[in-house]
Amino acid sequence: MKKTTVITHMDADGILSLATFLRYTRSVEEVKKDALSVYFTSPVNLLNTILISILNKRRVNNLEMLYIFDLSGYRESIISASIYKKAVWIDHHHWEIVKKPENIEFYIDPTSNSACRLVSEYLSTHYFEDVADEIDTNNIKTDYGEKIRTIVSYLRDENRGKILFEKLYKFAEDLACTGFDILYNAYYESMIDLYKKTLEEIDEIIVNYLNIYRVDDLKVAVVTSDKSLPVYHVYNKLMDHKDAPFDLILTVFYFDNITKIEFRTQTNFNTRDLAKMFGGGGHIYASGATVDGHITIDEIVHNIKIRLMNEENI
């Protein structure tokens, strides 16, 4: 039985990708639970997570199989993943051109609405992908999509570290074993009720810490916070603003010694190029970057102006 490691994004798409994988392994019995190691991470922490997964295996012979879901690769992370005997990397973000080791199979499609859809295609295990598409494109159409997004937001808001990872895994496992019916379990229903109250507090933060700028011809909304906010909720809240639609919505988080910037658009503006300017990336209309230290909103706006000026001069 192969010793298998899964590293997945800790958002709803990454969790549904993992649930699809767990559903697949239950059907084919390819991976026993005691032979499976799962890690949740973010794009900025991907390299560290891969290295930790390697160190935790202790012996090279234990580095048999690695799956990575919903996380874009770069030179250092790809080299580290290639230490495993075999790896499968499934993602739907835009990638820079990279050298691809022979022992890593890449299944990348930036046109896919979710990584879960690609995982479903790769494993021929279909169940969660339509809901994952809804959530990752912020186009909720079903009760399932709203519940899953809310539960993930609650878990990430209320928990940290090992406890968070354990609860995210339990949620993925419950979905894999029970399907959407688990969403109506009292345990998860209580999370949804509690998070509705949290969203009311978040609405106040959005109103109190919203500033609107004109950057050349762009209308830019900026919300700042020193606590995590669900970016989809910021976006949806600003849809009802009197000055909407906004060409750019920046949600700027100040945590310890880093600044995290989430870029969104309501007018199909290319946000990914701006995120790349700050060392980040993602999708064309939804992207992000994490910067060492605290940078001011004026600095961010100034950099955007420079980028726009350079584009005009091309």
Quote the number of domains for the chain.
Answer: 2
> Who contacts 180 (Cβ-Cβ below 8 Å, separation ≥6)?
131, 144
Domain membership of residue 297 (yes or no) is: yes
| The last residue of a domain, from among 113, 137, 161 | 137
103 with 226, same domain?
no
C-alpha 293 chain-centroid distance: 22
Tokens of 280: 């980040």
Going by C-alpha positions, the residue among 101, 288, 30, 275 that lies closest to residue 89 is: 101
Going by C-alpha positions, the residue among 307, 156, 136, 164 that lies closest to residue 235 is: 136
CATH number for 272: 3.10.310.30
131 with 219, same domain?
no
Domain membership of residue 48 (yes or no) is: yes
For residue range 277-308, list pLDDT tens digits in order: 999 988 999 999 999 999 999 999 988 888 88
Tokens of 174: 């419950």
CATH number for 48: 3.40.50
For residue range 160-214, list pLDDT tens digits in order: 999 999 999 999 999 999 999 999 999 999 999 999 999 999 999 999 999 999 9
What is the pLDDT confidence band of residue 249, given thresholds at 50, 70 and 90? very high
Residue linked to tokens 């995982």: 119
What is the C-alpha to C-alpha distance for residues 284 and 301, in angstroms, rounded to an integer? 19
What is the C-alpha to C-alpha distance for residues 277 and 304, in angstroms, rounded to an integer? 9
Domain membership of residue 171 (yes or no) is: no
Confidence (pTM)? 0.91
What is the C-alpha to C-alpha distance for residues 96 and 212, in angstroms, rounded to an integer? 32
Question: Average pLDDT over the chain, rounded to whole?
Answer: 93
> Are the C-beta atoms of residues 12 and 40 closer than 8 Å to each other?
no
Domain membership of residue 187 (yes or no) is: no
**Other CB atoms closer than 10 Å to residue 20's CB: what's the count?**
29
Instruction: Give all strands of the β-sheet with 86-91 in edge-to-edge order.
Output: 36-41, 4-9, 65-69, 86-91, 104-108
Domain membership of residue 70 (yes or no) is: yes
What is the pLDDT confidence band of residue 34, given thresholds at 50, 70 and 90? low
Side-chain-side CA neighbours of 22 within 13 Å: the count stands at 25
Tokens of 263: 């870029």
For residue 69, the surrounding DSSP H or E stretch is strand 65-69
Phi, psi torsion values for 99, nearest 5 degrees: -75, 130
| The last residue of a domain, from among 137, 162, 182 | 137
CA-to-CA dists, residue 273 to 124, 269, 281, angstroms = 34, 10, 7
Give the model's pLDDT for residue 175.
98
Side-chain-side CA neighbours of 245 within 13 Å: the count stands at 7
129 with 219, same domain?
no
Give the model's pLDDT for residue 30.
56
CB-count burial class (<10 Å; 0-12, 13-18, 19+) for 261? buried
| The last residue of a domain, from among 105, 137, 169 | 137
Give the model's pLDDT for residue 314.
46
Structural domain boundaries, residue 55:
4-137
Phi, psi torsion values for 21, nearest 5 degrees: -60, -45
Beta bridge partners of 91: 108
Residue linked to tokens 């958002």: 11
